Amino acid sequence: MKKLILAVLAFSCGCGGSVYAKGAPPVPQLKPTEVTTAGSVTVNGERIGYRAVTGTLVVHAKGWNRYAPPGDKKNPTAEADMFYVAYFKRGVPAANRPITFLFNGGPGSSTVWLHMGAFGPVRVVTADHTHTLPAPYQIVNNHFSLLDASDLVFVDAPGTGFGRIAGPNAAHSFYGVDQDVHAFAVFIRKFLSQYNRWNSPKYLIGESYGTMRAAALPLALEHESIDLNGVVLLSDILDWDLMPDNPKLNPSVDLPYIVALPSYAATAWYHHRIPNQPQHLKPFLKQVEHFATHSYTLALMQGNSLPQAKRQAIAEKLHEYTGLPVSYLLKSNLRIEYGAFQKELLANEELTTGTLDTRFTGPTLNPLSENAEYDPQSAAISSAYVSAFNTYVRQTLHYGQNQNYKPEIPVYSSWDYRHQPPGASHPLIQLPNVLPDLAIAMKRNTDLKVMVNGGYFDISTPFYEGWFEMHHLQIPPSLQSNIQYHYYRTGHMIYVHVPALKQLHHNIVAFIRSTDNLK
């Protein structure tokens, strides 16, 4: 997740990306594409042959009516061709085999990360917690591909990858919380029809901002009479009031500091900055979680009325858990922002920790700055992922010649963050929260299962934030057992640490096989 800025609720309604000339009629310009290839992957010693389909599907803006007369000004004509790569296992009946739709987040990110790092048939090899050497990069068989349990569809968000948007008000039509959910719902419905997969067990896997999409999509799909079997959340952020991005801009809302504290403690533990370093991580984090939700919460709630003696005691306890100097903690008013934490933890070595994965470190760009100015993990692995996919998609999948693949597009600051939750009469002017959508979806489909996954060393979407969110989901106690939790000794992109990827693969396969209703 990038820095949340003050203009988060402002939205540009320009039609960026339009392919129409000035004065030209709004005639559809985008066409679906499809290229089919074949390959195989070995998972757990089993060779799995597959058919790969690479292409685009065209989706239209909400409210579009294909039967409207030409020139109808009330009929939105904005459209997007969404890029995807689908893998279908050969030699098995396809009609009822599980199918999983996977996507990253951003907003504005393609799905190159999950594709090339986690669950596709090949993956790029990167260094575990240091900068990966420049090209040539190694692309290997992915022993942890999910093709052993499900067919896979990696979907890029509108305007990313090889996809493009077009037409009047195209940006307004696709670049927002609800607009994005609509586009993915249409894509999934069209994909099920095109490839005859309506009777397949259906799953979603979303990462980061993609978890917002994955949490809101079940209800949107239920309105299309499509029930899902399961939703897998990787590094979730469903309630943006919990985000650690610039929480000082939202004073009196102290929850971001509370839910992030266990991740700060895990990071300090990893880098051996804890006074009287505990031997084991999990029991230590349980102590921190208890402190965060009890003494620390009560202290923050008192605001400026907190007695000085109590303020000193809380600062000293925070020092025990984070390794940050007591003087710094008092100066920061007991509130730790993640950018400042990245910068301060290893300041005596002029090193900055990662944001997405704090195991990574890099030279501090400006020793005098208040916050970290970059993410060492992104700097360490991005070139490898993007270069590997650009090679793979052209040489192996035979798609994209003479086209530009966009791993990310700059829509974060202009995204329409307004969301209309179930029961609201209009989109709300507040930071988005899709917990109500997921709760209603689980009530309507009481067999829907949810799997929550997080990394201990992620301070972008802290693991305890995800736990906190799901324990505030408005569902009856009988449905709480439909949610399972898994945490790993890695960061935001759980799969960059191979032992965690192995464990993640095992857990998701077990989740699919326990919910696919196949005999």
Decide if 346 is inside a domain. yes
Do residues 410 and 157 lie in contact, with contact meaning Cβ atoms separated by under 8 Å?
A: no
Whether pLDDT at 16 is above 70: no
Shared domain for 477 and 408, answered yes or no, is yes
Whether pLDDT at 4 is above 70: no
Decide if 38 is inside a domain. yes
d(CA 475, CA 443): 7
Decide if 367 is inside a domain. yes
Query: Any idea of the CA torsion for 72, 74, 75, 79, to the nearest 10 degrees?
Result: 120
**277-310 burial string, b = 16+ CB within 10 Å, else e?**
eeeeeeebbeebbebbbeebeebbeeeeebeeee
d(CA 489, CA 208): 17
d(CA 291, CA 478): 29
Shared domain for 412 and 482, answered yes or no, is yes
Number of other CB atoms surrounding residue 179 within 10 Å: 20
Return phi, psi of residue 152, to 5°. Answer: -130, 140
SS3 at position 487: strand
Whether pLDDT at 90 is above 90: yes
pLDDT, position 28: 55
Does the reported pTM lie above 0.85?
A: yes
Shared domain for 65 and 40, answered yes or no, is yes
SS3 at position 216: helix
CA distances to 198, 327, 405 from 191, in Å? 9, 57, 22
Shared domain for 474 and 393, answered yes or no, is yes
Decide if 441 is inside a domain. yes
Tokens, residue 440: 């209603």
Q: Provide mean pLDDT across the span 498-516.
A: 97
| Percentage of residues in the chain having pLDDT higher than 70 | 95
Whether pLDDT at 252 is above 90: no
What angle do helix axes 308-322 and 281-291 make, rounded to 10 degrees? Answer: 160
- 143 pLDDT band, cuts 50/70/90, is very high
Shared domain for 235 and 317, answered yes or no, is no
Shared domain for 132 and 272, answered yes or no, is no
For 58-82, what is each residue's pLDDT tens digit?
A: 999 998 888 888 777 788 889 999 9
DSSP state of 416: B
pLDDT, position 72: 78
pLDDT, position 478: 95
Find the domain containing 312 and state its range: 248-377
Decide if 68 is inside a domain. yes
pLDDT, position 74: 80
Q: Provide mean pLDDT across the span 394-398.
A: 98
Antiparallel, parallel or unpaired: β 351-353 and 361-363: antiparallel
d(CA 517, CA 12): 45
Decide if 451 is inside a domain. yes
Q: Identify which has the larger pLDDT, 337 or 20.
A: 337
pLDDT, position 5: 33
**Rg of the Cα trace of the chain?**
23
pLDDT, position 7: 36
CA distances to 215, 270, 283 from 278, in Å? 36, 10, 9
For 196-234, what is each residue's pLDDT tens digit?
A: 999 999 999 999 999 999 999 999 999 999 999 999 999
Q: Provide mean pLDDT across the span 258-272.
A: 97
pLDDT, position 8: 32
For 445-492, what is each residue's pLDDT tens digit?
A: 999 999 999 999 999 999 999 999 999 999 999 999 999 999 999 999
Tokens, residue 89: 């296992």
Decide if 398 is inside a domain. yes
For 94-124, what is each residue's pLDDT tens digit?
A: 888 999 999 999 999 999 999 999 999 999 9
Shared domain for 224 and 253, answered yes or no, is no
How does the average pLDDT of the chain come out, rounded?
Answer: 92
For 303-330, what is each residue's pLDDT tens digit?
A: 999 999 999 999 999 999 999 999 999 9
| Percentage of residues in the chain having pLDDT higher than 90 | 83
Shared domain for 235 and 99, answered yes or no, is yes
CA distances to 110, 327, 462 from 256, in Å? 27, 21, 9
Decide if 220 is inside a domain. yes
Q: Of 312, 347, 377, which closes a domain?
A: 377
Shared domain for 195 and 132, answered yes or no, is yes
Q: Of 355, 377, 399, which closes a domain?
A: 377
Shared domain for 436 and 367, answered yes or no, is no
Q: Of 377, 395, 411, which closes a domain?
A: 377
For 280-303, what is each residue's pLDDT tens digit?
A: 999 999 999 999 999 999 999 999
Q: For the domain that residue 507 is a member of, what is the CATH number? A: 3.40.50.1820
- 388 pLDDT band, cuts 50/70/90, is very high
Least confident span in 12-26, 142-156, 186-200, 454-468: 12-26
Among 217, 218, 225, smallest CA distance to 199 is for: 225
Q: How many domains does the chain contain in total?
A: 2
Q: Identify which has the larger pLDDT, 185 or 366.
A: 185
Shared domain for 506 and 416, answered yes or no, is yes
Whether pLDDT at 422 is above 90: yes
Whether pLDDT at 248 is above 80: no
Shared domain for 293 and 409, answered yes or no, is no
